[in-house]
Structure 1
Amino acid sequence: MTTSVHPPEQPVASTSYIPPTKYVLSKAHLGAFQRSKTHQEIFDFIEDLNEAVVGKKLTEAGEGSERTKPILGILDSVLEIAKATPPVDNKLSRFGNPAFKDFYDKIGEASSELHSRINGLPSVAIPEIEVYFKESWGNKQRVDYGSGMEFNFLCWLLCLTKLGVLTKDDYEFLVLGVFWRYIEVMRYLQSTYWLEPAGSHGVWGLDDYHFLPFLWGAGQLKDHKHLRPKAIHDPEILDAFNKDYMYLSCISFINSIKTASLRWHSPMLDDISAVKTWAKVNEGMKKMYKAEVLGKLPVMQHALFGSILPFPTPEEDSELQKALEEEGAGEVGQVDEHGHIHVKGEPGWTMDCCGIPVPSAFAAAQDGATPHGGTAPFTARSGIKPIPFD
C-alpha cells in the first residue's frame, strides 16, 4: 500500500449537493481560488497520485479493485459511444468534426446510467459530479480539447475520492489504470473528431492537448537507475519502454503524428530533456502545473465549483471582496458566445483564451507530407499520419 504524502480527506457527508458552476470571473476570483482549501486539496491530490506511481510501470497496473473496475467500465462505454458515432464527411475542413457534438450529447444522455454503476456513490451526488465528467471530453461548441478539460477529469476523480467511493489504496491504479485509460480514449476522440487544441498555445509546448501524463510520467521515472530525460531522443529506448512509462509513451505519440525533431515542433520538451534527472523534471512539472494551469485565468475561468469542491466566499476570504472592489465589479471581462471570458486591459486579452483556431494535428497531417516533400516513413496507428512542418 502506498503511503499518502498528505492526510486523506474525510468523505464528504452532504444532503445538499450543488451542480457545480463557474466562479472565476476575474483576477480577484483567481487569487481567491489560489488561496483556497479547494486549491490545496487539488494540488495535494496531484502530489499524492504522483508519489503513488514512483517506480511503477503501466504494464504493472493490474486489474484494479472492485472500487475502480466500474470506473474503467464507464471509460469503455465512452469509447463505445464514440465508435457508434462516426465522423461525418468533412473533407473541406481541417478543423473539428461536427459529429463530436452528437457524441457530446450522447455522453450527457448516458451520464446518469453510467454513474449508477459506481459502487457506493450516493444517487443524490450524481447531478453534481457528473458535470465534471461530461466536461472532461472537450468543448461542444468549439469542438476542442485542452488542459482545462483534463482538469475536469482530475476533479471528477477527486470528487469520487472525497465521497469515499475511491480510497488512497486506489491511487496507484487511478493513475496507471484509470487515468491512462482516459488518455487512450481521448486519443481516439482527438484522432476521430479532429479536436482542435484549446487555446492559442496548446499546452505550452508539451503536446497539443495534455499536461498530467507528463507530470505523472516524470514521477514514474524519477528514481529510475538508468533512464535519463535525454533518453526521449533515442528511438530504441522509446520503442523499448513506451509501453511502461507515460512520459515516453507521450513522446512516441507526438513523434507518430509530427515530423522533424522535437526541437522544432515541441521546443519545451526538447529543453526539458536537458535536465539531468527525472526528479527535477517531476518537480518542475508540478510547479509548472500550479502556475500555468491552476494559476492561469484563461484556463481556470472554466473551472467548476459546487459543494464537494467549493469556491471560497468573501466571508471566508477577506481579500476577495477588497480585490473585487478595487478591480471594479463590472470589469470582469467580456463573455463570448462560447462562454469564454476575455479580460480587458491586458496585452493580447482577446487572444490568451481562445487564440486563433488551430487545426487538429490529425487533420493537418491528412496528406502525410514532410517538410522536404514526399512521404515520411511512418509506423501506422489507427487513422493517424505524420503532420507536416514547413
Structure 2
Amino acid sequence: MAENEQHSDSKPKDDTSPIPVNHVYVVPRKEIAMVPDMGKWKRSQAYADYMGFIVTLNEAVKGKKLTCEYKVSETIEKLLVLLGTMDRWIDETPPEEQPSRFGNKAFRTWYAKLDQEAEVLIAAVIPQQQGAAAPEIAVYLKEAVGNPTRIDYGTGHEAAFAIFLCCLCKIGALNGDDQLAIIFKVFDRYLEVMRKLQKTYRMEPAGSQGVWGLDDFQFLPFIWGSSQLIDHPTMEPRHFVDEKVVNENHQDYMFLECIKFINQMKTGPFAEHSNQLWNISAVPTWSKVNQGLIRMYKAECLEKFPVIQHFKFGSLLSIQPV
C-alpha cells in the first residue's frame, strides 16, 4: 500500500534536530500550475515525506484507543495552547447577520487574526534556535483552516495541517515519542476547532463530491481512525452505522467521532447522505477498510489537480525529486 514511502525522512524521529542550524528557510509557494505538473508532485521529496508521515502515524495508532496512556511532551502542550487560542478567537468573533445562509463573512475577521498572529503563535511552539523556521511553517498553519475568500474548507486544508505537523517533526520540535500525542491530542483537538469553525461560520465544503465523497470536510481521521479499530475484539465495520454503538464508543475512536459529527449535521437515512461510508460498512475487516482508505486518499485527494494546485512548497516540503 505504501511500499516506497516507509523510508521517508519525515517520520517523527528521536534525534534532537534533523535540520542544521544554518539551514536556509524559504516562504513556501505554489509549484503546480497545470495538470502536467502533477508528475513533479508525484516524484517530489514532498510527496514521499508526506505519505511517509501519514503511513508512519497510521502504524503508530493501530489498535490503540484515544484514551490510552502516552507521553505528552512540552511541544505537544504548546500546540494545544495554540489551538486553544484559535478556538477562543471563534468565541470572540460571532457570526454576522447576513442574507446568505452559508459562508458567514465573520470567518474573514477570524482568519485575519490568524494571518496576523500565525508566526508569533509558531515561534512560541518551536525551539528558540529554530526560530527562523516560523515564517515557513506559519504558511501551513494559515492554509489549514480554510479559504477566507470562498469561506470553504476541505481535504486540502486538512492536508496543510498534517504538513504543518510534519514540518515540526523535520525541525526536531516533535520526535518519535510524540507519535500518539500528535494524533490523539493535537490532531484530535484540531478537528474540534475545525468542526466549530464549520458550524459557526457555515463553511462550504471545498471541492465536495456530495454523496459520492467520503465526507464533506475531512479524510485523515477516517484513515487513522480505522487503524485504531484494527483487530478490535467486538466492533466490526458494519457496527459504525449503528448510532448506539457510535454514541457509546466515540470517545475512544476517531472514526466514530467523525460519524457522530455527520449524524449531528445531516438528516435522513445514512445510506443516502453518506453513501461512500455506507458502502465501507460492508467491508469485512478494519484492516481492509484502512488499506482501502489509504488508496482512496491517494486517488481522490493527492492525485487530484484541483487539490494539489493549492499546495505550497518550501525548504521543508520540497518539490525537488526524491
TM-score over 0.5 (shorter chain): yes
Match of 2:194 in 1: 186
Q: Residues 179-238 of structure 1, C-alpha deviation per residue, up to 9 Å, x if partnerless?
A: 000000001100000010001415952221000010110010012121100001222211
Deviation at 1:117, TM superposition (A): 1.2
Q: Distance in 2 between matches of 1:291 and 1:20?
A: 24
Match of 2:120 among 101, 107, 113: 113
Specify whether residues 68 and 200 from structure 1 end up closer, same or farther in structure 2 by C-alpha distance, changes over 3 A only: closer
Specify whether residues 215 and 275 from structure 1 end up closer, same or farther in structure 2 by C-alpha distance, changes over 3 A only: same
Q: Residues 314-340 of structure 1, C-alpha deviation per residue, up to 9 Å, x if partnerless?
A: xx58xxxxxxxxxxxxxxxxxxxxxxx
Match of 1:125 among 108, 133, 146: 133
User: What percentage of aligned pairs have identical amino acids?
Assistant: 44
Letter in 2 for 1:297: F
Match of 1:324 in 2: none
What TM-score results when the alignment is normalised by the length of structure 1?
0.76
Map 1:361-372 → 2, pairs under 5 A: none
Q: Residues 73-128 of structure 1, C-alpha deviation per residue, up to 9 Å, x if partnerless?
A: 100011011111111112x2122000000000001111122112114151211110
Task: Confirm or deny: 8 A CA contact 1:63 1:69 kept in the other structure.
Answer: no
Task: Confirm or deny: 8 A CA contact 1:96 1:143 kept in the other structure.
Answer: yes
Task: Confirm or deny: 8 A CA contact 2:71 2:178 kept in the other structure.
Answer: no
Q: Distance in 2 between matches of 1:61 and 1:5?
A: 26
Q: Distance in 1 between matches of 2:62 and 2:285?
A: 14
Match of 1:39 in 2: 47
What TM-score results when the alignment is normalised by the length of structure 2?
0.92
RMSD of aligned residue pairs (Cα, Å) = 1.8
Look at both structures and tell me which one has the larger radius of gyration over its CA atoms: 1
Match of 2:108 in 1: 101
Deviation at 1:28, TM superposition (A): 2.1
Higher RCO (Cα < 8 Å, 6 or more apart): 2
| Number of residue equivalences | 310
2:245 matches 1:237: yes
Q: Distance in 2 between matches of 1:200 and 1:58?
A: 28
Map 1:20-169 → 2, pairs under 5 A: 20-60=28-68, 64-90=72-98, 92-120=99-127, 122-169=130-177
Higher normalized helix content (fraction of residues):
2
Q: Distance in 2 between matches of 1:82 and 1:184?
A: 12
Q: Distance in 2 between matches of 1:35 and 1:7?
A: 13
Letter in 2 for 1:222: I
2:217 matches 1:209: yes
- Structure 1 alignment gaps of length 5 or more: 318-390
Structure 1 residue ranges, 4+ long, deviating more than 6 angstroms after superposition: none
Q: Distance in 2 between matches of 1:143 and 1:287?
A: 29
**Alignment partner of 1:142: what SS?**
coil
- Structure 2 alignment gaps of length 5 or more: 11-16
Deviation at 1:140, TM superposition (A): 0.6
